[in-house]
Chain A
Amino acid sequence: MIEWLSQFRLEFLDTFQDFFPIAIVLIGFQLFIIRKPLANPRKILIGFIFVLLGIVFFLEGLNMALFPLGKLMISQLTMPDFLGVHALEVTTHWKVYTWIYVFAASIGFAAALAEPSLLAIATKAEQISGGTVRALGLRLAVAIGLGSGLALGVFRIITGTELYFFIISGFIIAIVQTAFVHKSIIGVAFDSGTVTTTMVTVPLVTALGEGLAQAIPGRNPLLDGFGLLAFASLFPIIAVLSYALIAQWINNRSLSSKP
């Protein structure tokens, strides 16, 4: 128990330390530039303590339950025995790794739905749009995007294709979609696509990338493990834009079919 408490204290101090420079900027500008008292300083202070405690509990819980499991599963799934590859045989067909794709896609899907900052942005978007943008729909679209993005990213690590090629194709798709989508959704789509890559996703994705780069013959974990996160922040954007385009299309059709 005492051991656990000291661990908890360390975690809290770490989080507090990360937050410290941000607090200095906020307080400094509030005191010296804005020079107006805050409307409700006690409420804000309590809220900050809630946020810090929340992050500490969340991280502590992730470290106790989800991360060890996730990493154990990744290491079991990437074992040469499980995959049926031989260490000496460099030319392995990409289809051998079916379970890895399924796993990457499901872990991406689930991690996006669990991501706190995505929840924050989706709630804000629902409030501001007056309910036209649904928080759950947005989160599901991002989750589908993250799932397919990770599966594709894993495919890239396995085949060793250029990262550049995928990223540029993704950019071009997003640009074309932006041209057709209603302008009120553009900012939300790009922002919510980006925020998938924080607390839950980053450690899992990094472990997946490194595990794969180690397990697959001919890949260098130092070089090929990178780049998976870029998929994780690009594909959700495309998914949200697609979701908005489909919603628009259905709306237009039902409008035009009515006399």
Chain B
Amino acid sequence: MLNNRFINQLISSFFDLSPIFAVILIFQVLIIRQPLPNAVQLITGTFFVILGLTLFIQGLELSLFPLGESMAYAFARKGSLLWLLAFAFCLGFAVAIAEPAISVVAKKAALIASVQHAIEQTDTAKNYYALGLRITVALSVGFALLIGVFRIIRGWPVYYPIFFAYSCIILITPFAPPHIVGIAYDSGSFATSTITVPLVTALGVGLATAIKGRNPMTDGFGMVVLASLMPVIFVMLYGILI
């Protein structure tokens, strides 16, 4: 039975991924017109991508989705708002501090800041700046999940915190040093990783299902977007302060 499901999932993964193969093939054949380097590696790689997606989706249904939802139920039954908020914050902080993409960007940002003479041109100053930036992003993602959970419990409309974040970004940008703006806008995109998104979604949907008077469709989503908007605000503030 499991085998059958696995094969079905394998086939559906292939269809899910087919557009990206098509685009690359069409461009390669029609526009660039150069022979493909290393065909064996390409085919193995393609198979790996399909297998990986299949395992990922199967694993989600077995672990991240049920775990997120069961933790949400447990917290709701326990009725302790403080612990739930602490959990949301820790989860967001842990995700962002571990994300390798963020540390790469932080290093690049430190380089830019030193080229622009915003900080001293020494390695210590750069490392210090990069670490500060990483902690800033981690704090902002933790804060975002905290607000997201608080919103679901209070039953505020989804767009309140989103619009608030938008307004903050619009207001702060003109005051932020120009070299930080591009980095700030991009840093939000790095904060949402492939493991976090399903977990956070399951948590939100689980909470909205467990709490009376909330609708999982209307209230359960909306946390991931906050996790990508908050870092923009925090990183710009970091740029202004440093």
Contact = CB atoms under 8 A, between A and B. Distances in A.
B216 A62 contact: no
Nearest to A8: B48
A36 B74 contact: yes
A117 B193 CA distance: 8
Interface string B175-186: 000010111011
B198 A54 contact: no
B17 interface: yes
Contact of B62 (A33, A50, A52): A50
A99 B65 CA distance: 41
Contacts of B24: 66, 69-70, 73, 110
B19 A109 contact: yes
Contact of A190 (B17, B95, B158, B201): B158
B70 A128 contact: no
A46 B59 CA distance: 7
Interface in A193-229: 193-195, 197-200, 202, 222-224, 226-229
A164 B24 CA distance: 32
B150 interface: no
A186 to B, nearest CB: 5
A168 B167 CA distance: 9
Contacts of B169: 167, 171
Contact of A29 (B42, B87, B183): B87
B185 A65 contact: no
Interface residues of A, number: 104
Interface residues of B, number: 106
A69 B28 CA distance: 9
Interface string B5-49: 000000000001101101110111001101011000111111111
A46 B173 CA distance: 45
Given A25-B87, A25-B90, A120-B201, A34 B195 contact: no
Given A114-B17, A184-B215, A186-B158, A194 B22 contact: no
Contacts of B189: 194, 197, 202, 229-230, 232-233
Interface of B: 16-17, 19-20, 22-24, 26-28, 31-32, 34, 36-37, 41-67, 70-71, 74-75, 78, 80, 83, 87, 90-91, 94-95, 97-101, 108, 111-112, 115, 157-159, 162-163, 166, 169-170, 173-174, 179, 181-183, 185-186, 188-190, 192-199, 201-202, 205, 215-225, 227-228
Given A43-B66, A223-B179, 15 more contacts: A22-B98, A29-B83, A38-B67, A48-B63, A54-B52, A66-B24, A73-B24, A110-B22, A125-B217, A125-B221, A128-B220, A167-B169, A190-B221, A195-B197, A229-B189
